[in-house]
Amino acid sequence: MENVTKNICFFNSCKAWGGGEKWHYDIAILLQKKKYSITLITNKHSELYNRAVNSNIQTISIKISNLSFLNPIKLLKISRLFKKHSSNTVILNLPSDLKAAGIAAKIAGVENIIYRRGSAIPIKNSFLNRFLFKKIITEVIVNSNETKKTLNANNPNMIDEKKIKLVYNGIDLKKYDKTISKIYKKENNEIILGSAGRLSKQKAQKYLIDIAGKLKLKNINFKLLIAGDGELKSELVAYAKKLNVENEVVFLGFVENIKTFMNSLDIFLLTSLWEGFGYVIVEAMACKKPTVAFNVSSNPEIIADKKTGFLIDNFDIDEFTEKIELLICDEKLREKFGNEARELVEKKFQIDNTFMQIEKILNKK
């Protein structure tokens, strides 16, 4: 395919590392390998910035706030960056990026202004949002049907359906499978449970600690590894002590190589209240790990209930615990779910499929 869109700028000002940042990084790397000219504008104090620099991606640092779009000097600065790098496509991440960099891209005459939406939260029906999606954005890439559904939840005419493109996140299995090491060594035949994500209200790790308490009362020999950092860490550590599971629950902090974490587990757990796309679920499935998660947002698009894991309705912690116990007691079921999970990733969530769809969007004419 001939590269029609050659100069692409990824604009992602988020300091934290999450699914959106991983997506921007992975796609930028693949496009650069295909000889596209890539520029990444991000926060200098972010994991994305560090990884991009180490991967020889042309990286520019910038700070963006939710009100930066009201600052004409900031808009002019961003607009000049787009012009300097001859960007004919800009791919945006955060809502604050959408407002500031989206408007700046329009001022700079950027042809393709794409908003990559990764959060399954309805967009406010405000005058500003109506303006942005009708007059600024040329296309929206969503990571799940659930995310797509929430775009127009508050206004059925917010975004033209023709502008919305569904592209599932993908994983590079060849690269992912190279890591065989583990971050945690199992002791005394304990079952290793694990969850990964920012320690925040959305991820609801408090439920994990409740579950750990219930499992301990059943005298089950287990460890619960929690990977990630965030504003609720102190509160969660204190809660684990309150429930007397501080020896069973291990807070690992941010884990750079998530494969070493997944390799250590027997069962993956996700207690998020919502997900645009549960990247970590796919990463667990790629490692042949069965998953237990709530039956919310995009989780049913990834987990095949009773085939690759269990989906729990109504945030029922008792049922969640029961399904974990079922998997703990049945090694063959864990293996069966794990093998089917890997097969599903190979069929549906490979990075090559993701990249092919993204390149098609970029080169449409």
Cα 1 from chain centre: 28
Dig out the tokens for 326 from the structure.
């079922």
Dig out the tokens for 219 from the structure.
């005298």
Taking 80 as the threshold, does the pLDDT of residue 331 lie above it? Answer: yes
Per-residue pLDDT at 81: 97
In the numeric block, the tokens 């919305």 are attached to 164
Q: Compute the distance between CA of residue 197 and CA of residue 48 in angstroms, rounded to an integer.
A: 16
For residue 78, is it left (φ>0), alpha (ψ between -120 and 50) or beta? alpha
Taking 80 as the threshold, does the pLDDT of residue 144 lie above it? Answer: yes
pLDDT band at 364 (very low <50, low <70, confident <90, very high): confident
pLDDT band at 319 (very low <50, low <70, confident <90, very high): very high
Per-residue pLDDT at 33: 94
Distance from the first to the final alpha carbon of the chain: 12
CB proximity list for 182: less than 8 A, separation 6 or greater: 260, 263, 264
pLDDT band at 6 (very low <50, low <70, confident <90, very high): confident
User: Does the pTM exceed 0.85?
Assistant: yes
Mean pLDDT for the chain?
95
Q: Compute the distance between CA of residue 251 and CA of residue 228 in angstroms, rounded to an integer.
A: 8
Helix axes 47-54, 19-33, angle to 10 degrees: 20
Query: Out of 18-22, 86-90, 104-108, 247-251, which region has the weakest mean confidence (pLDDT)?
Result: 18-22
Taking 70 as the threshold, does the pLDDT of residue 17 lie above it? Answer: yes
Taking 70 as the threshold, does the pLDDT of residue 4 lie above it? Answer: no
Query: Out of 3-7, 92-96, 192-196, 343-347, which region has the weakest mean confidence (pLDDT)?
Result: 3-7
Taking 90 as the threshold, does the pLDDT of residue 139 lie above it? Answer: yes
Burial tier of 143 (Cβ tally within 10 Å: 0-12, 13-18, 19+): buried
Q: Which of 116, 105, 125 is nearest to 165 (CA)?
A: 116
Per-residue pLDDT at 2: 47
pLDDT tens figures, 338-351: 999 999 999 999 99
Angle at 29 between CA 57 and CA 87, to 5 degrees: 60
Per-residue pLDDT at 241: 98
pLDDT band at 227 (very low <50, low <70, confident <90, very high): very high
Per-residue pLDDT at 341: 98
Q: Which of 336, 309, 289, 300 is nearest to 193 (CA)?
A: 289
Q: Which of 284, 275, 327, 273 is nearest to 195 (CA)?
A: 284
Task: Outline where DSSP puts E strands in the chain.
Answer: 7-12, 37-42, 58-61, 89-92, 112-117, 139-142, 164-166, 191-196, 222-227, 249-253, 267-270, 291-294, 309-312
Taking 50 as the threshold, does the pLDDT of residue 1 lie above it? Answer: no
pLDDT tens figures, 169-193: 999 999 999 999 999 999 999 999 9
What the chain holds in terms of domains, given with CATH numbers, is: 7-170+350-362 (3.40.50.2000), 175-348 (3.40.50.2000)
Per-residue pLDDT at 5: 58
Per-residue pLDDT at 250: 98
Across the range 115-131, mean pLDDT stands at 95
Side chain identity, residue 26: D
In the numeric block, the tokens 């496009």 are attached to 31
Across the range 233-247, mean pLDDT stands at 98
